[in-house]
Structure 1
Amino acid sequence: MALLDELADALAADVMAAMKEFDDDRLYMEVSKVIGTSSPSLQEAFNTSCRLRLSEQRARKFLDETIRARREGTKAPAAPRDTEGGH
């Protein structure tokens, strides 16, 4: 459902901005609980959007640090080790 995804993603974007502004890396969990009291479908779409955004932020930080290190000739950050049972 397009509306569900649009609402969830817009809310996730706003929550991510608030998390950054207030340095609160768990705010999305609290918002998720509020959503879950009335719409499990919206909650799941919101959680998915948050996970995607958080993952992209971590990957972008890793990429930026790796590029900077290679340009400066310093040691690049290590990528996380693969673990069994992941997604």
Structure 2
Amino acid sequence: MGVVEDLADGLARDVLAAQGELDDDRFFEKVSKVLGDLSPTTQEAFMTAIRVRLAEKRGREFMEKSLRAKRGQGVAPVAPRGPDTGH
């Protein structure tokens, strides 16, 4: 990664960690606006890092719930229907 991506990803990690302490699950949007005022390039790299990290977290949670259900420790989650499902 380049300097912009490295800095933006580091900030994204820190912001996502801080959200719990701040009790504000949309805090990243405020940080994004601060970045956008000075550097739209950094803002976009930050938002990409946020989206990737949130998607990875959601995917990991889905996998873990599925594995727990398979092991008899809960109900399997239902995957969201995408536009390619035909219905």
Q: Please give the TM-score of this superposition, normalised by the length of structure 2.
A: 0.88
Distance (Å, rounded) in 1 between the aligned partners of 2:62 and 2:46: 24
- Aligned ranges 1:1-87 → 2 under 5 Å: 2-72=2-72, 74-83=74-83
Describe the shift of the 1:9–1:72 C-alpha distance in structure 2 as closer, same or farther (beyond 3 A).
same
Q: Which runs of 5+ in 1 are unaligned?
A: none
- What is the CA distance between 1:20 and its match in structure 2? 2.7
Q: Which runs of 5+ in 2 are unaligned?
A: none
Q: Is the 8 A contact 2:65 2:76 kept in 1?
A: yes
Instruction: Give me the identity figure in percent.
Output: 50
Distance (Å, rounded) in 2 between the aligned partners of 1:40 and 1:73: 45
- AA aligned to 2:11 is L
Q: Please give the TM-score of this superposition, normalised by the length of structure 1.
A: 0.88
Describe the shift of the 1:54–1:73 C-alpha distance in structure 2 as closer, same or farther (beyond 3 A).
closer
Mean Cα deviation higher: 1-10 or 56-65: 1-10
Q: Which runs of 4+ in 1 moved over 3 A?
A: none
Deviations 1:4-46 (A, max 9, x none): 0110000000001011333321000000000000000000000
